Structures are given as C-alpha cells and as structure tokens.
Amino acid sequence: MRWSGLAKDWISKFIAEEGLPKSFRATAQTVCEPLAARLARLRQARKKVVVIGLCGAQGSGKSTIAAATVRLLEERGLTAVALSLDDFYLSKSARERLAREVHPLLATRGPPGTHDVALAGAVLEQLRRPGRVALPAFDKAADERAPRAAWRTVATPVDAVIFEGWCVGARSQGAAALAQPVNALEADEDPDGRWRNYVNAQLDGPYQELFAKLHELTFLQAPSFEVVQGWRQEQEHKLIARTGSGMSDAEIARFIAHYERLTRWLLAEMPDRARLVFPLAEDRRPIEEE
C-alpha cells in the first residue's frame, strides 16, 4: 500500500483543534505519515488487530503524535485507538501503600511498579475482541485515576492500537548498572538501591508480559536526557493554564529525576531494537534524513 502526502484540509483542521503550532505539519509528514503507513501495512498483512508501542521521553510529543496518527488512519478508512500507559497509573492510595511497604519513592507515579499492568494487558486483549471497551483515564492534576464514568468507550475490535508511554517496550538493566546512583535523588533517597532494584525487577517481570503484546516498537529519540526537563515544564505549564493546578519548576526537576535512569538507558539501547526511530531536535521537531 503506497501512501502519498497528507490531506491539507485534514492536518490544518487537526492543528487548529489541538491548538498546535503550524510547525506540527512537519511532524505529521515525517512521523505520523510513515507510522500510519506502517500500521496499515501490518494490518493488511496480518488480517488482525495490530498493536504498536510508541516510546519517547517525557514531553517528546507522544500523545499528540499518537492522536494525529489515529486521525490519519481514520481518514484512510481504518479504525484505530491511541492508548496511554499514563492512564494505567495505580491510584494514589495504592502507591501510598507501596511507599509504606516497599519504598517511599514509589509514591511518585511514573516508573515501572506504579502502573496497573494487569489492567493494561486486559484492555489490550479486549480491543481485539468484538464488543465495547471502556478505556481508563488518569487525572494528572489530581494525581488520581479518573472516575469510571469519565472513561470513554470504543467499539471493538479495532484495526490498530498505538500504545504510547515513556517506558513502553523498555528492558531491564543488568545488576551491575544499578550499583551506582545516577543523580542526587538516588544517592540521597535510595542509597541502598532498594527502589531502583524493585523498579528493575518489575520491568523484568510483569512489564515484559505486557510489552510482549506489542507487535513492534516506534521510538521518538530525544537528543539527550538534558532536554527533558524543559519539555516537561512546557507540558506542566499547559496543564496549569488549563486546570489551574500543577507542579512548580522545582517540583518538576525532582519529578523527572525518578525517570532519569531508565530514560538514559532507553536512549542508549532502544534505537537498535525499534522498528521505526525518529530522532528529535531540541525543539522536538523531527530531524529529517538527508
């Protein structure tokens, strides 16, 4: 199946609806178009629901790219769903229990061990079967799972699923890599490595069972971990403008420290495994191959 060009009226409408800069057109052409084409080819070849994992650092644009790719697939006559790992965070009470029983750092959402992996796996399976599926939602402003009444439902089966998340498809690190802390958070609050070993064990076990449901991986490759704080601050500022609440820049710096180890590991090893890799510049625009 050959796909040529984007429908100008479609992308213009999407940019307007989402309040995106006009520069997103380049992202749509460079990232969304080939990703949608890949999903369509796999769907045509497999004759079954196709699930692609979309991985990228915080603030890299995963949610917007997934939504745009879904819209593009729908424009081409396919049914598709964008699913976020973020919507499967454990409730605040469940994370507080982990903080008491395992390690205090598990109160903070994000790293492996703070998601309802079983629920995520069940939803992926339900998307393959006829019926209707309720898709969980997480309220980041409240740091709590949204009430079930707020979950959207979709008719199933769908043709394609984009499962996006900052650690989707990640693999565990070797024990030797865990010995030394990567930042002040680990050095001061996890000096014995108990938290990072727990996270690594979760990634090596339940998360691999979940990621085994993916047919392929796509990676949005940040230029370095150092850009992530700025990207995450932009996200939070938009959240504050929309809801009136959110984290300060200092709180964001502490928050992303929880993600640093695995983000650096992903940047080092995932480009060799992902089927599609899209390098990003510091302004998040995709770097086109010459």
Question: Judging by beta carbons within 10 Å of its beta carbon (0-12, 13-18, 19+), is residue 148 exposed, middle or buried?
Answer: exposed
Report whether 228 contacts 57 (CB < 8 A): yes
Q: Which CATH number fits domain 8-279: 3.40.50.300, 1.10.645.10, 3.40.30.10, 3.40.50.10490?
A: 3.40.50.300
pLDDT in tens, 156-205: 999 999 999 999 999 999 999 999 999 999 999 999 999 999 999 999 99
Domain parsing of the chain, residue ranges: 8-279
Write out the two tokens for 59.
């603030």
Write out the two tokens for 75.
């424009």
Write out the two tokens for 224.
């370095």
Task: Write the DSSP string, 66-110.
Answer: HHHHHHHHHHTT--EEEEEGGGGBPPHHHHHHHHHHT-GGGGSSS
Cα–Cα nearest to 122, from 92, 83, 95, 148? 83
pLDDT in tens, 3-22: 445 455 788 889 999 999 99
pLDDT in tens, 22-58: 989 999 999 999 999 999 999 999 999 999 999 999 9
pLDDT in tens, 107-124: 999 999 999 999 999 999
Residue 97 has pLDDT above 80, yes or no: yes
pLDDT in tens, 207-242: 999 999 999 999 999 999 999 988 888 878 877 887
Within a 13 Å sphere around the CA of 3, how many CA atoms are in the beta-carbon half? 19
Q: How confident is residue 2, by pLDDT bands cut at 50, 70 and 90?
A: very low
Q: How far is CA 159 from the centre of its chain?
A: 20
Cα–Cα nearest to 57, from 289, 287, 285, 284? 284
